[in-house]
Structure 1
Amino acid sequence: MSDLITAVEVSGALAAAGGLGYAKVRAPRVWWSLVGLPVVRVRFAVTYRATMDVCGLTVQPSRVRAFMVRTVARRSDVLPVPPQVRRVRYSSTGLRVTLRLPAGLEPADVSAASARLRHAWGVYSVAVVESKPGFVELRMTGYDVLRRVRMPRVRKLAGPLVVPVALREDGSAFVRDYRAVPHALTLGANQSGKSMYQRNLIKGLASLDVALVGIDCKRGVEQGRFTSRFSGFATTPDEASGLLDALVGEMESRFDLLSLHQVSDLWDLPASLRPVPLVVLVDEVAELFLTSAKKDEERRDRMVMQMVRLAQMARAVGIYLEVCGQRFGSELGRGATMLRAQLTGRVVHRVNDRQTAEMGLGDISSEAMMAACSIPPDRPGIAVAGDTSGGWSRIRTPEITADDTAAACRKFAHLTPNIAALAPYRPNPSIRVGDFPAFDFTTTLATPRAATE
Structure 2
Amino acid sequence: MPDVTMMLEATGALGAAGGLGYAKYRAPRVYWSLVGLPAAVGRLTFTYRATMDVCGLTVQPSRLRAFMARNVARREVQPVPPRIHGVRGTSTGLRVTLRLPAGLEPADVIASSERLRHAWGVHSVTVVETRPGFVELRMTGYDVLRRVRMPRGAVARDMVVPVALREDGTAFERDYRKAPMALTLGANASGKSMYQRNLIKGLARLPVALAGIDCKRGVEQSAFAPRLSALATTPDDAASLLAVLVAEMEDRFDLLSRHGVSDLWELPGHLRPVPVVVLVDEVAELFLISSRKDEERRERIVTALIRLAQMARAAGIYLEICGQRFGSDLGKGATMLRAQLTGRVVHRVNDKQTAEMGLADVAPDAVTVASLIPMERPGTAVAADASGGWSKIRTPEITRAEVAAVCREHAHLVPDLPPLDPFRPYVPAEPLAPVPSLLKPSPATD
Cα distance in 2 for residues equivalent to 1:316 and 1:423: 23
1:328-385, CA deviations, whole angstroms, 9 ceiling, x for partnerless residues? 1110011111111100000000001111100101112232111000000001000000
Cα distance in 2 for residues equivalent to 1:155 and 1:378: 26
Partner of 1:19: 19
Partner of 1:3: 3
Partner of 2:33: 33
Partner of 2:273: 275
Partner of 1:82: 81
Task: Give the 3-state SS of the residue equivalent to 1:316 in structure 2.
Answer: coil
Task: Give the 3-state SS of the residue equivalent to 1:123 in structure 2.
Answer: coil
- Is 1:346 paired with 2:344? yes
* Residue in structure 2 matching 1:179, options 177, 180, 188: 177
Task: Give the 3-state SS of the residue equivalent to 2:314 in structure 1.
Answer: helix
Task: Give the 3-state SS of the residue equivalent to 1:322 in structure 2.
Answer: strand
Cα distance in 2 for residues equivalent to 1:3 and 1:186: 65
1:12-40, CA deviations, whole angstroms, 9 ceiling, x for partnerless residues? 11111110000001000000000000001
1:132-211 paired onto structure 2 within 5 Å:
132-154=131-153, 160-211=158-209
Q: Is the 8 A contact 1:249 1:421 kept in 2?
A: no
2:77 is matched by which residue type in structure 1? V
1:231 is matched by which residue type in structure 2? S
Q: CA deviation at 1:70?
A: 2.0
- Is 1:299 paired with 2:300? no
Q: Is the 8 A contact 2:109 2:127 kept in 1?
A: yes
Partner of 1:212: 210
Q: CA deviation at 1:220?
A: 0.2
Partner of 1:450: none
Cα distance in 2 for residues equivalent to 1:141 and 1:318: 37
- Is 1:52 paired with 2:86? no
1:238-270, CA deviations, whole angstroms, 9 ceiling, x for partnerless residues? 000000000000000000000011100001101
Q: Is the 8 A contact 1:85 1:99 kept in 2?
A: yes
1:44-443 paired onto structure 2 within 5 Å:
44-75=44-75, 77-154=76-153, 160-430=158-428
CA separation of 1:198 and 1:254: change in aligned 2, threshold 3 A: same
Q: Which runs of 5 or more structure 1 residues have no equivalent in the other structure?
A: 433-453
CA separation of 1:330 and 1:155: change in aligned 2, threshold 3 A: closer
Cα distance in 2 for residues equivalent to 1:364 and 1:6: 63
Task: Give the 3-state SS of the residue equivalent to 2:80 in structure 1.
Answer: coil
1:265 is matched by which residue type in structure 2? D
Task: Give the 3-state SS of the residue equivalent to 2:229 in structure 1.
Answer: strand
1:184 is matched by which residue type in structure 2? A
Partner of 1:442: none
Cα distance in 2 for residues equivalent to 1:154 and 1:2: 52
Q: Is the 8 A contact 2:154 2:171 kept in 1?
A: no
Q: CA deviation at 1:327?
A: 1.2
1:127 is matched by which residue type in structure 2? T
Task: Give the 3-state SS of the residue equivalent to 1:292 in structure 2.
Answer: coil
Deviates further, 66-75 or 355-364: 66-75
Task: Give the 3-state SS of the residue equivalent to 2:318 in structure 1.
Answer: strand
Q: Which runs of 4+ in 1 moved over 3 A?
A: none
Task: Give the 3-state SS of the residue equivalent to 2:138 in structure 1.
Answer: strand
Cα distance in 2 for residues equivalent to 1:232 and 1:18: 55
Provide the identity percentage: 72
Q: Is the 8 A contact 2:154 2:162 kept in 1?
A: no
Partner of 2:438: none
Task: Give the 3-state SS of the residue equivalent to 1:317 in structure 2.
Answer: coil
Q: Is the 8 A contact 1:329 1:355 kept in 2?
A: no
Cα distance in 2 for residues equivalent to 1:143 and 1:209: 37
Q: Is the 8 A contact 2:155 2:161 kept in 1?
A: no
1:80 is matched by which residue type in structure 2? P
Cα distance in 1 for residues equivalent to 2:21 and 2:337: 51
Q: TM-score w.r.t. structure 2 length?
A: 0.95
Q: CA deviation at 1:65?
A: 1.3
Cα distance in 2 for residues equivalent to 1:285 and 1:354: 19
Cα distance in 1 for residues equivalent to 2:49 and 2:302: 57
Q: TM-score w.r.t. structure 1 length?
A: 0.94
Cα distance in 2 for residues equivalent to 1:208 and 1:131: 30
Q: CA deviation at 1:66?
A: 1.1
2:52 is matched by which residue type in structure 1? M
